[in-house]
Copies of this chain bind each other. A is one copy, B any other.
Amino acid sequence: MANFELHPRLAQDCHFLGVTQGSQILLMDDARFPWMILVPEIPDALELHELSDAAFAGLTYLVRETSEVLKRITEAEKINVAALGNQVPQLHVHVVARFSSDDAWPQPVWGLDGKRPYEKKTLRQLEGEISKELITA
């Protein structure tokens, strides 16, 4: 089995926060949307439904926990959850905090131009809040 390596597109677009329950916890570098991405460290995983029973249960549980934490921290109106993978085939799950005032509402966030990188201070604060609640390793 090959070693796990994060897809270069995810590595480029996101900040790495840590590892929890076997998944890398990433934060998309786009201040328009508090947007987390969970990537199970399983080489060659492509489809959510093709995970083993244990890996599937672990990842969906982590999605639930991440959604709760992100909604509480950001006071989001809605959480969007998705496993797409049309552009980045490596299995990853998006958990996005949405507001009726955000740049994409009510449409989904994918494919929207105009990415706005975080300012350092905002990033550090958000990373700290998420890590405190969610990162175990």
Give the copy number. Answer: 2
Most chain B C-beta atoms within 10 Å of own C-beta, residue among A49, A107, A110: A49
When the two chains form their complex, are residues B110 and A108 in contact, meaning their CB atoms are under 8 A apart? Answer: yes
A84 to B95, CA, bound (A): 10
User: Are A81's CB and B79's CB within 8 A?
Assistant: no
Q: A48-B64, A81-B48 are in contact. Are A86 and B71 (CB under 8 A)?
A: no
Contacts of A83 in B (CB 8 A): 79-82
Known: A78-B86, A78-B89, A86-B98. 10 other contacts (CB 8 A): A47-B67, A48-B64, A48-B67, A49-B63, A49-B79, A49-B81, A80-B85, A81-B83, A86-B105, A86-B108
